[in-house]
C-alpha cells in the first residue's frame, strides 16, 4: 500500500496535470490518458481482491480483478482495476466518483 503522504503528493501532481489538460495542452491530455490506470492505482487508500480476470486475449497474461477506493483530484473514487502479478495496473473499469467518503465507502463495499 502506498503511504498516505505519497498519495497526497501524487494527487496534487495529478490535479495540476488535469488542470493543465483542461486548458487544451495536448501533451498533458496524452499523459493523463496514458497513465489513467496508474494515477488511480497510486491514489488508492484501500483495495480488495475480487479474483482472477478471465480474458479471451492470451496476450493479457494472468491478471487479477481488484476493487479500489481512493482520493484523486479532490474527489473520492471507487473502481475496479486489472492488476498483474507484479502489482502493476493495466486497466481501470467501473470508475465512480463521489463527493463524500461515506458514499464512496458504501460503493466500495458493494463491488464484487
Cα-Cα-Cα-Cα dihedral sign, residues 50, 102, 19, 9: negative
- Give one word for 72, left, alpha or beta, with left for phi > 0 and alpha for psi -120 to 50: beta
Long-range contact set of residues 30-38: C-beta below 8 Å, sequence gap at least 24: 36/92, 37/81, 37/89, 37/90, 37/91, 37/92, 38/89
Note the pTM of the prediction, 2 decimals. Answer: 0.71
Degrees (nearest 5) of the Cα angle 93, 20, 13?
65
Calpha distance 15→21 (Å, rounded): 10
The rounded percent of the chain whose pLDDT value lies above 70 is 66
pLDDT at site 19: 58
- Give the total number of structural domains in the chain: 1
Angle of the 26-34 helix axis to the 4-22 helix axis, nearest 10: 140
Q: Please tell me the predicted confidence (pLDDT) of residue 1.
A: 43
Structural domain containing residue 75: 4-110
Q: What is the pLDDT of residues 4-28, one digit of tens each?
A: 445 566 656 656 655 555 555 566 5
Categorize the per-residue pLDDT at 61 as very low, low, confident or very high, splitting at 50, 70 and 90: confident
Question: CA 45, CA 35: separation in Å to the nearest integer?
Answer: 18
Amino acid at each position: 500500500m502506498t503511504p498516505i503522504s505519497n498519495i497526497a503528493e501524487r494527487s496534487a501532481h495529478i490535479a495540476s496535470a488535469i488542470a493543465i489538460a483542461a486548458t487544451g495542452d495536448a501533451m498533458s491530455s496524452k499523459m493523463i490518458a496514458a497513465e489513467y490506470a496508474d494515477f488511480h492505482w497510486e491514489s488508492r487508500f484501500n483495495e480488495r481482491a475480487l479474483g482472477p480476470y478471465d480474458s479471451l486475449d492470451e496476450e493479457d497474461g494472468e491478471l487479477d480483478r481488484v476493487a479500489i477506493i481512493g482520493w484523486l483530484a479532490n474527489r473520492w473514487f471507487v473502481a475496479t482495476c486489472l492488476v498483474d502479478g507484479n502489482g502493476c495496473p493495466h486497466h481501470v473499469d467501473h470508475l465512480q466518483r463521489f463527493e463524500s467518503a461515506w458514499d464512496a465507502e458504501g460503493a466500495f463495499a458493494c463491488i464484487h
